[in-house]
């Protein structure tokens, strides 16, 4: 029997306008943890509050982790195109280095 799970890749906008990309199996709880500052070593700890800008659900953790790694390497403009699901812009930006 195949079990369906919920895994989420998410992007947060931090108070300093930087973006944080993460993966979780409980998006609502994870957002609360980021904003409550539960981990003082976390990237977002000194950049609170954070705002959820984007998320995408996956059935398999492996797929979520692969996508998270991919998006972490994207430029700011490319991440912002993802927020709008502007695939034409994502493709265009993929063809140019450092865009």
Task: Please report the pLDDT score of residue 1 as a whole number.
Answer: 58
Instruction: Classify residue 81: in a domain, yes or no.
Output: no
Whole-structure pTM value: 0.90
Share of the chain above pLDDT 90, in %: 89
The total number of structural domains in the chain stands at 1
- CATH number of the CATH domain containing 66: 3.40.1440.10
Residue 3 has pLDDT above 70, yes or no: no
The mean pLDDT of 29-56, rounded to a whole number, is: 97
Instruction: Classify residue 1: in a domain, yes or no.
Output: no
56: containing domain: 7-74
Counting Cα atoms < 13 Å in the Cβ hemisphere of 90 gives 13
Instruction: Classify residue 79: in a domain, yes or no.
Output: no
Residue 21 has pLDDT above 70, yes or no: yes
The mean pLDDT of 31-56, rounded to a whole number, is: 97
């Amino acid at each position: 029997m195949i079990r369906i799970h919920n895994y989420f890749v998410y992007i947060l906008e931090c108070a300093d306008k930087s973006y944080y990309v993460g993966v979780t199996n409980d998006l609502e709880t994870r957002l609360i943890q980021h904003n409550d500052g539960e981990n003082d070593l976390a990237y977002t700890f000194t950049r609170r509050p954070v705002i959820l800008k984007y998320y995408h659900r996956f059935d398999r953790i492996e797929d979520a982790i692969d996508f998270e790694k991919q998006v972490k390497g994207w430029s700011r403009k490319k991440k912002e195109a993802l927020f709008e699901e502007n695939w034409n812009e994502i493709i265009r930006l993929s063809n140019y280095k450092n865009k």
